[in-house]
Amino acid sequence: MSSRRSRQQSGSSRISDDQIIELVSKLRQLVPEIRDRRSDKVSASKVLQETCNYIRNLHREVDDLSERLSQLLATIDADSAEASIIRSLINQ
């Protein structure tokens, strides 16, 4: 992590280097792309970029799962046995 950069980024309105370090260490447990990167060379803006990409992927996943669930529920014939099972699951 460049100490040079920390000297220029003064003021509390900037994301501090410490916060970037914390973000990286926590994210490394979660995000595969950051995990494979060498720890000493990661740049703050790259970390932010990977984070944004990851969040976008997660959003896409939620959207996709909602779609699949909607499709599944649509295929259930309202009077079928499957419908009653799912209905009882949901109605617990």
Tell how many helices (H) and how many strands (E) occur in the chain. 5, 0
Which residue has tokens 């909607």? 70
Is 65 among the residues that bind another protein (CB under 8 A)?
yes
CA distances from 80 to 68, 75, 89 (A): 20, 10, 14
Closest contact distance (angstroms) between CB of 3 and another protein is 13
Which residue has tokens 């703050």? 44
Is 63 among the residues that bind another protein (CB under 8 A)?
yes
Residues of this chain that interact with another protein (CB under 8 A) are: 5, 8-9, 11-15, 19-20, 22-23, 26-27, 30, 44-45, 48-49, 51-52, 54-56, 58-59, 61-63, 65-76, 82, 85-86, 89-92
